[in-house]
């Protein structure tokens, strides 16, 4: 039960500090001199932090317990959130923002294998809950960010998310202490050691590179929207509050798909159709937003329709998360695939929000920015095709076993 509480609290805390800043970014600029370059770096930090930790955490997992990593992750996120809110200049604000993302990135990489370790027989429903809570927290932060800033200032709004990281810190600290006492870091919840001892090398498998491309395409698109959607909407004449609500709505749309996708993956022999559907929704929604941003469908602003369409395309994210466990046999394999896929994928995708903003600055049109996102959909498509067939990462080094599948 302690592990379940840790998974739930950690999942809910992993996106609050990411999506809770952009709705109040103009207020931050009034106190801290954030120029367009600094804003672009801030937008790039989530994926950059996730990339750095993805590449490092997978290597550390073989020497440090998953519970210890999650304890450190929560502590870094909580401290960074408070310190960022107290910052009075650009350097510390950006530095502590990166520290937060490093903490959250450790959690990103470690939660899939921790689910496989403690809930091996319930991976699909636990992954669905995990993905749903990520979407819920992503939506909650922008929804409450402006009201919190109105009530107590932007510093309180930005720093308040530390509470949830602290709450997640407690169960993982208890689990870490328990594991140290038992001397069973690699044991599953039933006390059976993980059968995989040899290092798993995901970069030698199409599955590994397919997951990388899934995260490249998904992170480039979703984090660009989390950062720039309020600005895009504001440029069409909508207010700050309306833009915040639309960002929250976009994030909320990730909740139902997060519940459904892991369960579908468990039942489907191939996930190609599911992934390509997400690609099509991204492309169609962006096109509608650019062509008819202020159109009316009766009393309804058509912009809500376009956000709905590309918001449902966020199914690509729970798809990528679910495949970490669905395409591996062991906790070690899941850890290796999670670290490699998220590390390299986020590293390549971290420039997405920055490029999105720079292209608008250079061209003066959102068409050039969204053109970049359409290009990233090609990478997403390739990832969908490489991971679509049901096979396992650990089987790849043995040609005979691959052929038998």
Stretch among 97-111, 133-147, 302-316 having the lowest mean pLDDT? 133-147
Q: How many domains does the chain have?
A: 1
Q: Mind listing the pLDDT tens digit for each residue in 95-112? A: 999 999 999 999 988 999
pLDDT at 29 (0 to 100): 83
Across 40-55, b (16+ Cβ under 10 Å) vs e yields bbbbbbbbbbbbbbbb
Residue 93 scores a pLDDT above 70: yes
Residues of the chain with pLDDT > 70, as a percent, come to 93
What is the structure's pLDDT at 198?
Answer: 57
**312 with 304: CB under 8 angstroms?**
no
Closest CA to 130 of 160, 157, 110, 103: 110
Radius of gyration from C-alpha coordinates of the chain: 20
Domain CATH code at residue 49: 1.20.1250.20
240-287 confidence digits (pLDDT tens): 788 878 887 888 888 899 889 998 998 888 999 999 999 999 999 999
- Phi, psi angles (nearest 5°) of residue 391: -155, 175
Q: Range of 32's domain?
A: 2-404
Segment 315-357, tens digit of pLDDT: 999 999 999 988 988 888 888 898 899 888 888 887 888 889 8
Cα distance between residue 153 and residue 149, in whole Å: 4
pLDDT value at position 190? Answer: 41
Q: Determine the straight-line distance between the first and last CA of the chain, rounded to whole angstroms.
A: 37
User: What are the angstrom distances between the C-alpha of 89 and each of 28, 83, 92, 152, 224?
Assistant: 10, 12, 6, 20, 24
* Type and span of the H or E element at 368: helix 366-387
pLDDT in tens, 213-246: 999 999 899 888 887 898 899 888 888 788 878 8
Give the predicted TM-score (pTM) of the model: 0.80
Task: Give tens-digit pLDDT for 345-402.
Answer: 888 887 888 889 889 988 888 999 999 999 999 999 999 999 998 888 888 554 444 4
Nearest partner of 206 among 32, 24, 405, 4, judged by Cα: 405
The pLDDT of residue 43:
75
Nearest to 261 by CA among 209, 212, 214: 214
User: Does the structure show a pLDDT above 50 at 191?
Assistant: no
Sorting pLDDT into bands at 50, 70 and 90, what band is 160? very high
Angle at 129 between CA 126 and CA 135, to 5 degrees: 145
Phi, psi (degrees; rounded to nearest 5) at 109: -75, -35
- Mean pLDDT, residues 183-198: 46
Q: What pLDDT shows up at residue 183?
A: 64
Residue holding tokens 């990462």? 393
Q: Output the pLDDT for position 373.
A: 96
Residue 7: name the closest of 379, 348, 321, 230 by CA: 321
Nearest residue to 208 via CA among 403, 102, 54, 73: 54
Of 3-7, 42-46, 230-234, 283-287, the least confident: 42-46
């Amino acid at each position: 039960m302690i592990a379940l509480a840790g998974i739930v609290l950690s999942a809910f805390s992993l996106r609050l500090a990411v999506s809770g800043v952009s709705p109040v970014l103009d207020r931050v600029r009034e106190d801290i001199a954030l120029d367009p370059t600094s804003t672009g770096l801030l937008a790039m930090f989530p994926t950059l932090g996730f990339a750095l930790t993805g590449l490092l955490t997978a290597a550390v997992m073989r020497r440090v317990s998953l519970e210890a990593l999650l304890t450190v992750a929560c502590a870094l996120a909580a401290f960074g959130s408070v310190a960022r809110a107290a910052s009075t200049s650009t350097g510390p604000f950006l530095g502590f923002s990166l520290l937060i993302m490093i903490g959250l990135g450790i959690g990103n990489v470690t939660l899939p294998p921790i689910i496989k370790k403690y809930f091996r027989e319930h991976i699909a429903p636990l992954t669905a809950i995990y993905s749903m809570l990520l979407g819920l927290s992503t939506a909650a932060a922008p929804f409450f960010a402006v009201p919190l800033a109105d009530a107590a200032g932007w510093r309180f709004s930005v720093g308040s998310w530390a509470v949830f990281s602290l709450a997640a810190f407690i169960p993982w600290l208890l689990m870490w202490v328990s594991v140290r006492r038992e001397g069973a870091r690699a044991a599953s919840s039933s006390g059976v050691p993980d059968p995989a001892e040899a290092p798993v090398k995901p970069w030698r498998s199409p599955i590994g590179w397919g997951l990388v491309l899934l995260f490249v395409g998904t992170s480039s698109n979703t984090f660009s929207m989390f950062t720039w959607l309020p600005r895009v909407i504001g440029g069409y004449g909508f207010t700050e509050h309306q833009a915040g609500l639309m960002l929250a709505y976009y994030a909320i749309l990730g909740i139902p798909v997060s519940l459904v996708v892991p369960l579908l993956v468990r039942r489907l022999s191939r996930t190609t159709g599911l992934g390509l559907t997400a690609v099509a929704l991204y492309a169609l929604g962006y096109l509608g937003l650019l062509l008819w941003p202020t159109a009316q469908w009766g009393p309804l602003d058509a912009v809500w329709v376009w956000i709905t369409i590309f918001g449902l395309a966020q199914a690509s994210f729970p798809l990528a998360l679910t495949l970490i466990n669905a395409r591996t046999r062991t906790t070690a394999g899941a850890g290796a695939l999670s670290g490699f896929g998220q590390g390299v994928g986020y590293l390549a995708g971290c420039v997405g929000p920055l490029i999105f903003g720079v292209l608008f600055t250079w061209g003066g049109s959102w068409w050039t920015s969204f053109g970049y996102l359409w290009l990233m959909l090609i990478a997403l498509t390739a990832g969908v095709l490489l991971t679509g067939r049901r096979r396992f990462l650990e089987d790849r080094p043995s040609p005979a076993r691959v052929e038998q599948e």
